[in-house]
Amino acid sequence: MADPTDRNHSPSRVARRGCGPGAGRAARRRGGAAAGVDGPPREEAAGDCRDRPPANPSGPSGAADERARGPGGAVDGGRALAALGLAYAPYDNPLMYPGVWPRESGLLVGDRLLPLDRPVHDDRVPVLAVGSNACPAQLRLKLDAAGLATPVPMVRCRVRGVEVGVSAHVSRAGYVAAAPVRAPGVVRELFLLWLDAGQLAAVDAGEGADLPRGNYRRVWLPAPDVEVEPEGGAALPGVFGYVDRHGVVHDGTPGSPRRHPGQRALLTELLLRSARLRALFGDTPEEFCARARADAALCARGTRVLAEEGLVTGSGLERYLRVEGADGGRSP
């Protein structure tokens, strides 16, 4: 039976989105090399090509090719995700997590990232991305799974009060994801997604935010606790974010959340810290990813081990978690 806490990573949906046995084929169809700006700092970003898909100089083909065509049917090579080095998602290779982020704000339209005309979209819902939701290829896969092809504004922003922490659960996508943590005074450049109602529902489903036992809850993060200033725009009164209901991994000191260092560095560290995790997932990050993607029950056991071994602390954002049936009137 599928794990209700990780519904969007069920084997059937994972295979459709490039995370199952056909992941390599799906990645090759999307084409492109991993370049651009990464998310949270990670060791493999410095050039460990073992964690990156091979470049495909032929560019996008098939369905991706159709979506990369601009006006008049010509292939928009300059703005296609493949041409921008943004065509690969962590669903294709978990050790790439959080995926490659754009260098600048843009409008995600199919497999293209087009220039954005404005930083604020009052008719949409602002959602802060701290992990793979800021990776256009990953976001595209989530929306494709819901049958959505509508554009998504992705805006670079300056954020004060939040750091990128480590979710205290093992995902069936094969990685340990990111989660926001409270960090007064810390300033980060992150991405803000402006989502319409259908897109918001799809991303909620991908995070398990629509399920009673889902991994994340979508909460309203108000200013001035969390200050978000979109590139080229004024500071916002608040944004939505996904807080992990399991808590986050600490840095060795309870009460002090661990900053997400990138997937290879993180898994190496966790396996060194816990013999029980090694017994479940093997001795290497590659083994960890392979076993996690193959066994939902194993991921649930891994999540329990993180808590039982005392590796988990609060994110500092728990007070924003919604009370069932009430969210301060902030629901879109």
DSSP 55-104: P-TT---HHHHHHTB-GGG-B-TTTBTTTTT----TTT-GGGTT-EEPSS
More confident residue, 44 or 23: 23
Three-class SS state of 277: helix
Mean pLDDT value across residues 46-67? 33
pLDDT at site 222: 96
Sequence-distant (≥ 6) Cβ neighbours of residue 22 within 8 angstroms: 15
More confident residue, 69 or 95: 95
pLDDT at site 24: 40
- The DSSP H or E segment spanning 183 is strand 178-195
Least confident window among 47-51, 170-174, 322-326: 47-51
Residue 111: pLDDT over 80: yes
Biggest CA–CA distance in the chain, Å, is 59
CB 130 within 8 A of CB 167: no
pLDDT at site 77: 52
Side chain identity, residue 281: F
pTM of the full structure: 0.78
Residue 324: pLDDT over 50: no
pLDDT at site 160: 98
Q: Which residue has the tokens 């489903």?
A: 205
pLDDT at site 2: 33
Neighbours of 61 (CB within 10 A): 15
Q: What angle do CA 210, 26, 71 make, to 5 degrees?
A: 90
Question: Which tens digit of pLDDT belongs to each residue from 213-265?
Answer: 889 999 999 999 999 999 999 999 999 999 999 999 999 999 999 999 999 99
More confident residue, 2 or 274: 274
DSSP H stretches of helix in the chain: 11-16, 23-30, 62-67, 136-145, 197-207, 263-273, 275-281, 285-294, 296-308
Report strand pairing: 112-114 vs 152-166. Answer: unpaired
Concatenate the DSSP letters of all residues of 286-305 into one string.
HHHHHHHHH-HHHHHHHHHH
Side chain identity, residue 31: G
More confident residue, 293 or 5: 293
CB 243 within 8 A of CB 315: yes
Can you tell me the distance from the alpha carbon of 177 to that of 166, in angstroms, rounded to the nearest whole number? 6
Can you tell me the distance from the alpha carbon of 214 to that of 210, in angstroms, rounded to the nearest whole number? 7
More confident residue, 52 or 304: 304
pLDDT at site 78: 80
Three-class SS state of 146: coil
End-to-end CA distance of the chain: 32
Residue 169: pLDDT over 50: yes
DSSP H stretches of helix in 109-232: 136-145, 197-207
Mean pLDDT value across residues 300-318? 97
State how far the alpha carbon of 264 is from the alpha carbons of 97, 284, 331, in Å. Answer: 9, 9, 36
More confident residue, 53 or 212: 212
**Average pLDDT in the chain:** 80
DSSP label of 69: B
All structural domains of the chain, each given as residue ranges with its CATH number in brackets, are 94-320 (3.10.490.10)
Least confident window among 54-63, 98-107, 196-205: 54-63
pLDDT at site 321: 85
Residue 160's closest CA among 235, 99, 218?
235
